[in-house]
C-alpha cells in the first residue's frame, strides 16, 4: 500500500531503487540483555508468533533508521551455542544459514555480548563468525563487568576479532543505542563476513575443507555457510538422531564421504567436537587477553556473592524461598480474584443487558450463552496470567528464578521434573492455565512437557465450588480428632480433613504421574540441568511489563479462540434440540444432547456411584469445573431467585441432592461415599477446556493435550472406582 | 582469571580417591582442572567452557545432595551431580 503510494508520487523517476530493507538477526546468550535491547530498538513495533510446527517463539520487530530505511529485527531465542541440541538452537542455526522456508536469510547478525562473562559469550560469537554473514557486536552489562573488576575496551575487542564493529550499549538507560543504530545503518560498509582466525589439527582441518568443498559443489551449499555445515556434520555423534536429521538435507555422496571421514577420525583418535571446542576457546582466550583490562584490586566478594550467602543458604535460603512463594500464592489466590470476580460480574451484566435488549430466540441464546460466556471464559483468566507473569518477570530478570531452581531441583528431579517446575506447579493451585504457560521458563523440553502434563492435577480454584457444595451437604462438621482444653475441642472437623485430603490427593497424584511418565513415555530424552547463575540485576520495568502483556496477548489470541469455539459447542450441546418455550429449564437440559450424553454414559459411571444427573453435570462442567454447581442447580430445578446468589445456590443445590431418592433402590442417590467419590473424580479429571486449549497452544499440537485428557480421565475413573467400591465393601454408604 | 582463584589453594589431591576424580566429588571451595568430559551432555559441557585444562571451582553445594554451583571462565553455573560426575578433574597442580 505504502509502496504503491510512493510509486504514484514518484512516478516521474520510476527508475529510483526502492529503499533497502535490511533483515537483521539478534543473537546472544540467555541473560545477556538481548530482550531489553530488542525492546529499546523496536519499541512496541513487535510481532510474536511461533515457528510453524514447533514450540519455538518467533519474534520480529521493526526499526526505522534515520535515513528512512527499514530494518526487520528477528529476535532468535537465547542460546549458548549454535550446535543444534535443542529446538531453539536448531531454529537459530536454520535461520542463520537460510534453511527455513518461512524466514528469509538475514543480511546481518547483531550479536549481543555480555561483558561480565565475556569468555563464554565469545564462544557463540566465534560460531556466529563462521556462518558467513557480517557480524555486528553490541556489548552489554558493562556496569556488571565493572563490579567484578573487568573493563572491556570495545575498540580493542573489535580489533582482536578482525574488525567486527563493537558498540558498547546500556539498553536500560538508552546509552549507546544511537551509536548502535548508526552502525546498523553503516553495515553495508562492513558487509564482508569475518574471516576465521582459529585452526584445527591438520588432519581435521583437511577433512573439514574437503567436506566443505563437496557441500559447495555437490549440494549447492553457499560458500560462506559450507564450513559451518561441514564442521557440524563431522562433529555430530555417529548414529545419533541429530546426525540423521542433519543428513536429511544432503545427497548420498555427502553421506558416503561422511562415513569415510568418521572412520578416519576414529582410526586417528580425533574427536572433532572436542577439537573444535578447544580451538575456539583457545582463540577466545587470545581475544580476551587482548581486549580486557582487569583492575589490580578485584573486590574479593561481589554484591551478588554476598546476597547469595543468604539467598542460597541451607536454612535461610529455604525460609526466604517459602516467603516468596507464599507471596506468589497469596497474589494468585486472593489479589487476582478481585479483578477476576469483577470480570465475571461484568460478563454476567453484559449477558443480561444483551438478553434484555434482544428479542428471545436462537440468535440471542447463541450470543449470550455461547459467545459472551465463551469470551468471559477467556478473559476471566487474565488477572491471574498478568499477575503471575509480572511476578515471574521480576524473578527472572533479577536472577532469583535461577536461585529458586537451584534450591528446589533436588526435590523436583526425583520424579524427572526440574527446579524450575516448582513455580508452574504452585501457580496451578490457583489455576492450571497460567501454570502451564509458566512452564515456558523451563529450558529442558522433557521437564517442561512433564510439568505441563501434571500441572492440571493440582487442585485449582475452580474446583473449590464443587468441593464446597459436596462437603457442605454430605460431610459432617463434627470434629475428626483433637483434644479438649477448657471444655472446647480443638482439632480439625471432618469437613476440613476432607478438603485437605483433596488437595493432598491432587499433589501426590501429580508427583506420582510425573515419576511414571518420566520412566515410560518420556524416557528417551536426556534430562538436563545446566543453569547459569547470573549476577543479581535491577530489572527493567519496561521489559517485564512488555513481556507480561505479550504473554497475556498470546493467551487471548491463541487459546482464546479455541476456548470460544469450544464454549459455543458446549452451549449447543446443552440447549439443543430446542423445546417449546414453556418447557422448564431442567427438562430442556435433560433432553438436550448433553443430557442425552449424560444419560448415555450412565453405565460407565454407575460403578463410581454416579447416576445420569451427575453425568449431565460432568458433561456440562467440561467448560469449567465450577459450572457443575450451576448445572446441578438446573437439573434439580433450583428456583431462579435462589440461583442468583452463589452462596444460597450452593446450599440449595446441596439440599436438593441430599433429598434426591433413587427411584430404583428407593434410597438416597447421594451418600457421603458418593460425594467423596465425586470429589475424587473432580480432583483428577481434566474437566476444563480452557486448559486443553492452552496445552495445545503451548505444545503446538494435539498430541499432548489428548494424552493428558486420556490419562487424567482414566486415572479419575479408576480412583473413584476404588473409592466407591472399596467404600461399599468396607460398609460405608 | 578471577582474583578469588589465587586466594584459594588448589587441593593436593582428591579427598576420596587420592588422585584425579570427577567434579562432583570435590568439596566446596576446591578447584579442579578439567582433564576429560563424558556423558550425555558432553558436547554442551565443552561448549559451556569445560575444556581440558580449564580451572573449575566448586563454590556451593545445595542441601540434600542437590545441584552443585561451580565457577569457571568468570561465570557461575549450576549442574546436577550426575552431570558433574562426567567431568574428570585433576586436583594436583
Choose the closest CB to A120 out of B63, B73, B80. Answer: B73
The better pLDDT of the pair B63, A714 is held by A714
Beta-bridged to residue A112, according to DSSP, are A28, A138
Choose the closest CB to B66 out of A119, A278, A410. Answer: A410
Question: A315: which 3 cell numbers?
Answer: 536454612
In a domain, A616, yes or no: yes
Q: Residue B80 and residue B69: Cα distance in Å, rounded?
A: 9
Question: B64: which 3 cell numbers?
Answer: 540434600
Secondary structure (3-state) at A175 = strand
Q: Which of A378, A449, A361 is nearest to A698 (CA)?
A: A449
Runs of H (alpha helix) within A380-454: 382-398, 400-413, 422-427, 432-438, 445-454
Regarding whether A628 and A589 lie in a shared domain, the answer is yes
Regarding whether A713 and A599 lie in a shared domain, the answer is yes
**Cβ pair B73:A117 closer than 8 A:** yes
pLDDT at A312: 94
Least confident of A284-293, A440-449, B1-10, B34-43: B1-10
Regarding whether A251 and A372 lie in a shared domain, the answer is no
Sequence-distant (6+) residues with CB within 8 A of A479 are A489, A491, A492, A493, A494
Shortest distance, CA B86 to any CA of chain A (angstroms) = 13
Q: How many CB atoms lie within 10 A of CB A95?
A: 23
Q: Residue A266 and residue A260: Cα distance in Å, rounded?
A: 10
Choose the closest CB to A410 out of B62, B77, B83. Answer: B62
Taking CA A15 as the corner, what is the angle to CA A9 and CA A21, rounded to the nearest 5 degrees? 80
Q: Which residues of A touch B60 (CB under 8 A)?
A: 308, 312
Residue-averaged pLDDT of chain B: 80
**Model ipTM value:** 0.84
Q: Which residues of B touch A118 (CB under 8 A)?
A: 74
Question: A343: which 3 cell numbers?
Answer: 470480570
Residues in chain A predicted with pLDDT less than 50, given as ranges, are 1-15
Scanning every residue of chain B, which has its alpha carbon at the shortest distance from the alpha carbon of A292? B1
Could you write out the three-class secondary structure of A71-131? EEEEECCCCCCCCCCCHHHHHHHHHHHCCCCCCCCCCEEEEEEEHHHHHHHHHHHHHHCCC
Residue-averaged pLDDT of chain A: 85
Regarding whether A688 and A575 lie in a shared domain, the answer is yes
Interface test with B, best of A529, A532, A534, A535 (most B CBs within 10 A): A529
* Domain span including residue A224: 213-269
Give Dmax (Cα) for chain A. Answer: 101
Q: Which of A434, A472, A516 is nearest to A679 (CA)?
A: A472
Interface test with B, best of A144, A277, A535 (most B CBs within 10 A): A277
Exposure string of A317-327, with b = 16+ CB inside 10 Å and e = fewer, is: beebbeebbee
* Number of helices followed by number of strands (H, E) in chain B: 3, 6
Regarding whether A624 and A509 lie in a shared domain, the answer is no
In a domain, A468, yes or no: no
Residue A392's Cβ-count burial label (10 Å; 0-12, 13-18, 19+) is buried
Sequence-distant (6+) residues with CB within 8 A of A260 are none
Q: Of A533, A553, A573, which closes a domain?
A: A533
Interface test with B, best of A147, A281, A285 (most B CBs within 10 A): A281
Angle, in degrees to the nearest 10, between helices A202-218 and A272-291: 100
In a domain, A624, yes or no: yes
pLDDT digits (tens, 9 = 90+) for A210-228: 999 999 999 888 887 888 8
Question: A665: which 3 cell numbers?
Answer: 433402590
Q: Which residues of B touch A406 (CB under 8 A)?
A: 62, 66-67, 69, 78
Question: A477: which 3 cell numbers?
Answer: 462438621
Q: Residue A362 and residue A8: Cα distance in Å, rounded?
A: 50
Sorted by where each begins, the domain ranges of chain B are 3-72
**Cβ pair B83:A528 closer than 8 A:** yes
Regarding whether A718 and A572 lie in a shared domain, the answer is yes
Q: How many CB atoms lie within 10 A of CB A538?
A: 8
Q: Which residues of B touch A530 (CB under 8 A)?
A: 41, 44-45, 48, 77-79, 83
Q: Are A134 and A165 in contact (CB under 8 A)?
A: no
In a domain, A435, yes or no: yes
The number of C-beta contacts closer than 8 angstroms across A and B is 116
Regarding whether A639 and A721 lie in a shared domain, the answer is yes
Q: Are A429 and A458 in contact (CB under 8 A)?
A: yes
Scanning every residue of chain A, which has its alpha carbon at the shortest distance from the alpha carbon of B79? A530
Q: Residue A130 and residue A134: Cα distance in Å, rounded?
A: 10
Question: B59: which 3 cell numbers?
Answer: 563454590
**Cβ pair B65:A81 closer than 8 A:** no
Q: Residue A335 and residue A390: Cα distance in Å, rounded?
A: 13
**Cβ pair A278:B44 closer than 8 A:** no
Q: Residue A461 and residue A465: Cα distance in Å, rounded?
A: 8
Q: Are A266 and A190 in contact (CB under 8 A)?
A: no
Q: Residue A176 and residue A75: Cα distance in Å, rounded?
A: 19
Shortest distance, CA B91 to any CA of chain A (angstroms) = 20
Residue A338 preceded by cis peptide, ω within 30? no
Q: Residue A425 and residue A328: Cα distance in Å, rounded?
A: 12
**Cβ pair A413:B52 closer than 8 A:** no
Q: Are A446 and A55 in contact (CB under 8 A)?
A: no
Regarding whether A527 and A568 lie in a shared domain, the answer is no
Chain A residues at the B interface, defined by Cβ less than 8 Å, are 80-81, 83, 85, 116-120, 123, 148-150, 235, 237, 273-274, 277-278, 281, 298, 300, 308, 312, 314, 318, 402, 405-407, 409-411, 413, 419, 526, 528-534
Regarding whether A401 and A514 lie in a shared domain, the answer is yes
Shortest distance, CA B33 to any CA of chain A (angstroms) = 14
Interface test with A, best of B7, B57, B66 (most A CBs within 10 A): B66
Regarding whether A178 and A234 lie in a shared domain, the answer is no
**Cβ pair B83:A118 closer than 8 A:** no
Q: Which residues of A touch B37 (CB under 8 A)?
A: 274
Task: Tell me: pLDDT of B93 over 80.
Answer: no
Q: Give, rounded to a whole angstrom, the gap between the first and last alpha carbons of chain A.
A: 73
Q: How many CB atoms lie within 10 A of CB A282?
A: 13
Q: Residue A179 and residue B91: Cα distance in Å, rounded?
A: 47
Give the dihedral sign, CA A183/A185/A190/A193.
positive
Q: Which of A462, A496, A495 is nearest to A628 (CA)?
A: A462
Residue B91, CB half-sphere, CA atoms under 13 Å: how many? 25
Q: Which of A204, A261, A254, A209 is nearest to A238 (CA)?
A: A261
**Cβ pair A123:B47 closer than 8 A:** yes
pLDDT at A394: 92
Q: Residue A171 and residue A160: Cα distance in Å, rounded?
A: 25
In a domain, A305, yes or no: no
In a domain, A419, yes or no: yes
Shortest distance, CA B42 to any CA of chain A (angstroms) = 9
Q: Which residues of B touch A319 (CB under 8 A)?
A: none
In a domain, A164, yes or no: yes
Rg of chain B (C-alpha set): 12
For chain A, what's the residue count?
Answer: 733
Q: Residue A84 and residue A237: Cα distance in Å, rounded?
A: 12
Q: Residue A98 and residue A92: Cα distance in Å, rounded?
A: 10
Residue A688, CB half-sphere, CA atoms under 13 Å: how many? 31
Regarding whether A364 and A511 lie in a shared domain, the answer is yes
Q: Which residues of B touch A533 (CB under 8 A)?
A: 69, 76-78
Q: Residue A474 and residue A651: Cα distance in Å, rounded?
A: 11
Q: Provide the CA A609 distance to its chain's centre, in angstroms.
A: 38
Q: Residue A157 and residue A343: Cα distance in Å, rounded?
A: 54
Could you tell me whether strands A530-532 and A488-490 are parallel, antiparallel, or unpaired per DSSP bridges?
unpaired
Number of domains, chain A: 4
Q: Residue A444 and residue A425: Cα distance in Å, rounded?
A: 16
Q: Which of A43, A14, A38 is nearest to A27 (CA)?
A: A38
Q: What is the DSSP string of A34-78?
A: HHHHHHHHHTT-EEEEE-TTSS-EEEEEEEE-TTS-EEEEEEPPP
Q: With left for phi above 0 and alpha for psi between -120 and 50, is residue A168 left, alpha or beta?
A: beta
Q: How many CB atoms lie within 10 A of CB A244?
A: 10
Regarding whether A328 and A443 lie in a shared domain, the answer is yes
CATH domain B3-72 topology? SH3 type barrels. (2.30.30)
**Cβ pair B43:A235 closer than 8 A:** yes
**Cβ pair A120:B69 closer than 8 A:** no
**Cβ pair B74:A117 closer than 8 A:** yes
Q: Residue B59 and residue B84: Cα distance in Å, rounded?
A: 13
Residue A481's Cβ-count burial label (10 Å; 0-12, 13-18, 19+) is exposed
Amino acid at each position: 500500500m505504502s509502496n504503491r503510494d510512493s510509486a504514484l508520487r514518484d512516478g516521474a523517476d520510476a527508475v529510483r531503487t526502492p529503499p533497502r530493507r535490511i533483515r537483521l538477526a539478534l543473537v546472544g546468550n540467555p541473560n545477556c540483555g538481548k530482550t531489553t535491547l530488542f525492546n529499546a530498538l523496536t519499541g512496541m513495533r513487535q510481532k510474536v508468533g511461533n515457528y510453524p510446527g514447533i514450540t519455538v517463539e518467533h519474534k520480529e520487530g521493526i526499526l526505522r533508521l534515520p535515513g528512512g530505511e527499514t530494518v526487520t529485527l528477528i529476535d532468535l531465542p537465547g542460546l549458548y551455542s549454535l550446535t543444534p541440541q535443542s529446538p531453539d538452537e536448531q531454529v537459530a542455526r536454520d535461520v542463520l544459514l537460510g534453511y527455513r522456508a518461512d524466514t528469509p536469510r538475514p543480511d546481518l547478525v547483531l550479536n549481543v555480548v555480555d561483558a561480565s562473562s565475556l569468555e563464554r559469550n565469545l564462544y557463540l560469537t566465534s560460531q556466529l563468525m563462521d556462518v558467513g554473514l557480517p557480524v555486528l557486536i553490541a556489548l552489554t552489562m558493562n556496569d556488571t563487568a565493572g563490579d567484578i573488576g573487568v573493563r572491556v575496551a570495545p575498540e580493542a575487542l573489535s580489533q582482536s576479532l578482525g574488525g567486527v564493529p563493537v558498540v558498547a550499549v546500556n539498553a536500560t538507560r538508552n546509552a549507546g543505542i544511537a551509536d548502535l543504530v548508526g552502525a546498523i545503518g553503516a553495515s553495508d560498509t562492513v558487509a564482508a563476513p569475518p574471516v576465521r582466525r582459529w585452526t584445527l589439527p591438520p588432519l581435521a582441518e583437511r577433512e573439514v575443507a574437503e567436506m566443505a568443498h563437496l557441500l559447495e559443489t555437490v549440494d549447492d551449499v553457499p560458500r560462506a555457510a559450507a564450513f559451518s555445515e561441514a564442521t557440524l556434520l563431522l562433529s555430530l555423534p555417529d548414529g545419533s538422531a541429530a546426525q540423521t536429521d542433519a543428513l536429511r538435507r544432503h545427497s548420498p555422496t555427502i553421506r558416503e564421504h561422511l562415513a569415510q571421514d568418521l572412520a578416519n577420525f576414529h582410526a586417528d583418535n580425533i574427536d572433532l567436537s572436542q577439537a573444535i571446542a578447544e580451538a575456539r576457546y583457545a582463540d577466545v582466550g587470545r581475544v580476551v587477553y587482548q581486549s580486557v583490562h582487569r583492575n589490580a584490586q578485584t573486590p574479593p566478594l561481589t554484591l551478588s556473592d554476598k546476597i547469595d550467602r543468604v539467598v542460597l543458604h541451607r536454612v535461610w535460603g529455604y525460609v526466604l524461598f517459602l516467603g516468596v512463594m507464599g507471596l506468589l500464592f497469596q497474589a494468585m489466590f486472593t489479589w487476582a480474584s478481585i479483578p477476576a470476580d469483577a470480570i465475571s460480574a461484568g460478563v454476567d451484566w453484559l449477558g443480561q443487558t444483551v438478553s434484555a435488549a434482544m428479542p428471545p430466540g436462537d440468535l440471542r441464546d447463541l450470543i449470550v450463552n455461547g459467545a459472551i460466556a465463551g469470551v468471559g471464559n477467556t478473559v476471566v483468566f487474565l488477572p491471574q496470567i498478568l499477575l503471575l507473569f509480572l511476578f515471574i518477570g521480576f524473578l527472572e530478570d533479577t536472577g532469583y528464578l535461577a536461585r529458586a531452581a537451584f534450591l528446589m531441583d533436588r526435590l523436583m528431579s526425583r520424579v524427572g521434573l526440574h527446579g524450575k517446575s516448582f513455580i508452574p506447579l504452585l501457580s496451578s493451585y490457583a489455576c492450571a492455565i497460567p501454570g502451564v504457560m509458566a512452564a515456558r521458563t523451563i529450558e529442558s523440553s522433557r521437564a517442561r512437557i512433564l510439568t505441563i502434563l501434571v500441572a492440571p492435577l493440582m487442585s485449582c480454584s475452580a474446583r473449590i465450588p464443587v468441593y464446597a457444595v459436596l462437603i457442605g451437604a454430605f460431610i459432617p462438621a463434627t470434629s475428626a480428632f483433637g483434644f479438649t482444653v477448657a471444655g472446647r475441642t480443638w482439632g480439625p472437623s471432618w469437613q476440613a480433613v476432607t478438603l485437605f485430603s483433596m488437595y493432598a490427593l491432587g499433589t501426590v497424584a501429580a508427583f506420582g504421574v510425573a515419576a511414571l511418565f518420566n520412566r515410560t513415555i518420556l524416557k528417551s530424552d536426556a534430562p538436563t540441568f545446566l543453569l547459569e547463575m547470573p549476577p543479581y540485576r535491577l530489572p527493567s520495568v519496561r521489559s517485564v511489563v512488555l513481556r507480561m502483556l505479550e504473554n497475556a496477548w498470546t493467551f487471548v489470541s491463541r487459546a482464546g479462540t479455541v476456548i470460544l469455539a469450544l464454549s459455543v459447542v458446549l452451549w449447543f450441546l446443552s440447549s439443543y434440540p430446542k423445546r417449546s418455550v414453556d418447557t422448564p429449564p431442567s427438562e430442556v437440559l435433560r433432553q438436550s444432547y448433553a443430557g442425552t450424553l449424560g444419560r448415555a454414559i450412565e453405565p460407565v459411571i454407575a460403578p463410581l456411584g454416579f447416576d445420569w444427573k451427575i453425568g449431565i453435570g460432568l458433561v456440562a462442567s467440561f467448560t469449567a469445573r465450577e459450572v457443575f454447581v450451576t448445572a446441578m442447580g438446573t437439573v434439580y430445578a433450583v428456583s431462579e431467585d435462589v440461583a442468583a446468589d452463589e452462596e444460597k445456590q450452593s446450599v440449595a443445590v446441596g439440599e436438593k441432592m441430599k433429598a434426591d431418592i433413587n427411584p430404583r433402590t428407593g434410597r438416597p442417590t447421594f451418600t457421603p461415599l458418593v460425594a467423596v467419590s465425586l470429589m475424587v473424580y473432580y480432583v483428577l479429571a481434566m474437566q476444563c477446556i480452557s486448559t486443553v486449549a492452552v496445552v495445545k497452544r503451548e505444545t503446538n499440537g494435539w498430541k499432548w493435550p489428548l494424552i493428558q485428557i486420556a490419562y487424567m480421565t482414566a486415572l479419575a475413573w479408576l480412583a473413584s472406582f476404588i473409592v466407591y467400591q472399596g467404600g461399599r465393601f468396607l460398609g460405608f454408604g | 582469571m578471577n582474583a578469588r582463584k589465587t586466594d584459594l589453594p588448589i587441593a593436593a589431591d582428591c579427598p576420596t580417591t587420592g588422585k584425579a576424580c570427577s567434579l562432583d566429588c570435590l568439596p566446596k571451595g576446591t578447584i579442579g582442572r578439567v582433564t576429560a568430559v563424558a556423558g550425555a551432555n558432553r558436547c554442551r559441557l565443552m561448549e559451556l567452557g569445560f575444556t581440558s585444562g580449564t580451572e573449575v571451582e566448586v563454590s556451593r553445594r545445595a542441601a540434600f545432595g542437590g545441584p552443585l554451583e561451580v565457577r569457571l571462565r568468570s561465570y557461575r553455573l549450576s549442574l546436577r551431580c550426575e552431570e558433574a560426575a562426567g567431568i574428570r578433574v585433576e586436583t594436583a597442580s
